[in-house]
């Protein structure tokens, strides 16, 4: 309450708190930090009061700089607006705050490898405690070398990949068993009696697509089902074109597997536009369940990749490496089917699709 002679500019610091409480900066720091060494109860209270009186908010920049214990984590996603990545980002940011008391910085690489590199560097400028790559830009050779060089510099919690298997990038990865995912999607259709299947899958042929396809192929071959594949971009319009070409080649398809939520939207649109009903005429199974899939009409049946849990596992790994917390038991990350309304049983002699004639492929 003593009148200040000089006008303070900038936010209050520990020095201000110490002066206000009439103690040394060290003591103020000890109290604020809630540190190991004990402080007299009276003093502690006095410092606390002083801190709130001057509205002290600790400076994380200085703290991190001095203590070398980062509280930022970087997350680079392929496309913020795609709920596939959105839900990862949501889970990780939430978990970072509530569980590790860290702050996650989400960067949107916009499916552009160049941007991924840029953000990588920028995040490292802030000395993030770890970096979670969920974009997959590294699936290109020339790019990967630069990324590897850049990330090898990061000395703290390290780099971690989720949703993808990083080819030739030596970092821990957290993602679903994609072969099993593919198999589950296939079996969902097989179980309902479908034997003529169209598959829409991502155009960039990475380990993920390959593994999923392997799973599907196995299941379909075992069951003696026919199928054909369209490689399209991860977007709704691209999927419309893709599903159209599939039906042009194989008009009697009764079941479609959509490689992503965006694709399933496009498939729904095209099917409806061509007078086909979901699921009465064509059943659709999506890969990757998102919350919004419930909002579709009909509700999408999809394989839940548990992206949120893999994201959290990645984060926990980083936190553990930083020594911030022990790696607790993680929940099961088996993929599972979330049944909506987009798959229906096919009975013997079920009606063929509108365009008749011609057998399904392979």
Which residues in this chain contact a second copy in the complex, by CB under 8 A? Answer: 9-11, 55, 57-62, 64-65, 68, 72, 80-81, 83, 86-87, 89-90, 93-94, 97, 103, 105-108, 110, 118-119, 121-127, 149, 153-155, 236, 262, 265-266, 268-269, 272-273, 291-292, 294-297
Tokens (6 digits) for 227: 């199928």
Q: Is 120:76 a contact under the CB 8 Å cutoff?
A: yes
Residue 296 contact among a second copy, DNA, none, beta carbon within 5 to 8 Å by kind? a second copy
Residue 172 contact among DNA, a second copy, none, beta carbon within 5 to 8 Å by kind? none
What are the b/e assignments for 228-267, b being 16+ CB within 10 Å?
bbbbbbbbbebbbbbbbebbeebbbbbbbbbbbbbbbbbb
C-beta closer to DNA: residue 37 or 332: 37
- The yes or no reply on residue 24 touching DNA (CB under 7 A) is yes
- The yes or no reply on residue 35 touching DNA (CB under 7 A) is yes
Q: Pick from 295, 308, 294, 231: which is nearest to 263 by CA?
A: 231
Question: Which positions from 54 through 83 interact with DNA, judged by CB under 7 A?
Answer: 56, 58-59, 62-63, 65-69
Least Å from the CB of residue 271 to a second copy: 9
Angle at 254 between CA 277 and CA 267, to 5 degrees: 55
- The yes or no reply on residue 43 touching DNA (CB under 7 A) is yes
Tokens (6 digits) for 136: 């997959």
DSSP string, 326-343: ---PPPP---EEE--SS-
Least Å from the CB of residue 257 to DNA: 50
Least Å from the CB of residue 211 to a second copy: 27
- For DNA, which residue of 13, 151, 236, 254 counts as binding (CB under 7 A)? 13
Least Å from the CB of residue 149 to DNA: 18
Cα dihedral 17, 18, 23, 27 sign: positive
Least Å from the CB of residue 269 to DNA: 51
Segment lying near DNA (by CB under 7 A), choices 34-42, 199-207, 298-306, 311-319:
34-42
- The yes or no reply on residue 11 touching DNA (CB under 7 A) is yes
Angle at 169 between CA 166 and CA 173, to 5 degrees: 45
Residues touching DNA, count (CB under 7 A):
29
How far is Cα 261 from Cα 325, in angstroms, rounded to an integer?
A: 34
How far is Cα 111 from Cα 244, in angstroms, rounded to an integer?
A: 25
Q: Residue 14 is inside which H or E element, if any?
A: helix 14-21
Beta partners for 286? Answer: 258, 302
Chain positions contacting DNA, by CB under 7 A: 10-11, 13-15, 23-27, 29, 32-33, 35, 37-40, 43, 56, 58-59, 62-63, 65-69
């Amino acid at each position: 309450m003593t009148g200040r002679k000089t006008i303070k500019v900038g936010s209050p610091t520990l020095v201000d708190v110490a002066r206000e409480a009439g103690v040394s900066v060290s003591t103020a720091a000890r109290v604020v930090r809630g540190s190991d060494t004990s402080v007299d109860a009276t003093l502690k209270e006095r410092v606390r009061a002083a801190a709130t009186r001057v509205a002290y908010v600790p400076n994380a920049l200085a703290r991190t700089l001095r203590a070398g214990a980062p509280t930022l984590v970087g997350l680079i996603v392929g496309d913020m607006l795609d709920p596939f990545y959105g839900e990862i980002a949501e889970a990780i940011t939430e978990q970072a705050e509530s569980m590790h008391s860290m702050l996650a910085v989400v960067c949107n690489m916009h499916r552009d490898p160049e941007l991924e590199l840029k953000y990588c560097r920028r995040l490292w400028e802030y000395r993030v405690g770890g970096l979670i790559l969920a974009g997959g830009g590294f699936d290109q050779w020339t790019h990967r070398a630069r990324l590897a060089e850049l990330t090898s510099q990061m000395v703290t919690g390290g780099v971690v990949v989720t949703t993808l298997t990083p080819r030739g990038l030596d970092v821990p990865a957290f993602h679903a068993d994609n072969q099993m995912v593919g198999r589950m999607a296939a079996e969902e259709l097989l179980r309902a009696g479908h034997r003529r299947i169209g598959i829409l899958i991502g155009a960039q042929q990475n380990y993920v697509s390959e593994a999923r396809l392997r799973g599907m192929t196995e299941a379909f071959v075992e069951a003696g089902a026919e199928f054909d594949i369209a490689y399209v971009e991860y977007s709704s319009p691209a999927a419309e074109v893709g599903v159209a070409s599939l039906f042009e080649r194989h008009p009697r398809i009764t079941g479609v597997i959509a490689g992503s939520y965006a694709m399933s939207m496009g498939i729904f649109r095209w099917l409806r536009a061509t007078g086909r009903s979901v699921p009465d005429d064509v059943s659709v199974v999506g890969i990757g369940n998102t919350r919004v899939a419930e909002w579709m009409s009909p509700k999408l049946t999809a394989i839940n990749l548990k992206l949120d849990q893999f994201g959290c596992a990645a984060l926990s790994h980083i936190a553990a490496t930083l020594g911030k917390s022990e790696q607790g038991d993680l929940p099961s990350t088996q993929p599972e089917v979330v049944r909506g309304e987009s798959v229906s049983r096919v009975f013997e002699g079920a009606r063929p699709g509108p365009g008749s004639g011609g057998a399904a492929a392979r």
